[in-house]
Amino acid sequence: MTTKGDTMTDGQLLIAGEWIPSAGGRVEEIRSPYDGRVVGQAALADTSDADKALAAAEHGAAVWRETPGHARHAILMRAAALIDERTEAIASLLSAENGKTITEARGEVGRAGDMVRLAGYEGTQLYGDTLPLDAHRGTGLDKVGFTLRQPCGVVVAITPFNYPSLLVLHKVAPALAAGNAVVLKPARATPLTALALARAFVDAGLPPGVLNVLTGSGGELGDALVSDPRVRKVSFTGSTAVGEHIARAAGMKKLSLELGASCPVVVLPDADVEAAAGAIAAGGFINAGQVCISVQRVIVHPRVHGDLLDALVPKVEAIRYGDPSQDGTGLGTLISEAEARRVEGALRAAADGGATLLTGGSGRVPSSLRRSSMTWPRPRP
179 DSSP 8-state letter:
T
Q: 84 burial class (0-12, 13-18, 19+ CB within 10 angstroms)?
A: middle
List the catalytic residue out of 88, 122, 220, 258.
258
Residue 359: φ, ψ to 5°: -155, 155
H/E element holding 349? helix 337-352
If phi > 0 it is left, if psi is from -120 to 50 it is alpha, else beta; for residue 111 that is: alpha
Whether 292 is catalytic is: yes
Whether 263 is catalytic is: no
Q: 200 burial class (0-12, 13-18, 19+ CB within 10 angstroms)?
A: buried
Nearest to 165 by CA among 200, 124, 204, 217: 200
List the catalytic residue out of 292, 317, 339, 344.
292
As a whole number of Å, the CA-based R_g of the chain is: 24
Given a contact cutoff of 8 angstroms between Cβ atoms, the answer to whether 50 and 224 are in contact is yes
For residue 345, how many other CB atoms are within 10 A of its CB? Answer: 10
Positions marked active-site: 258, 292
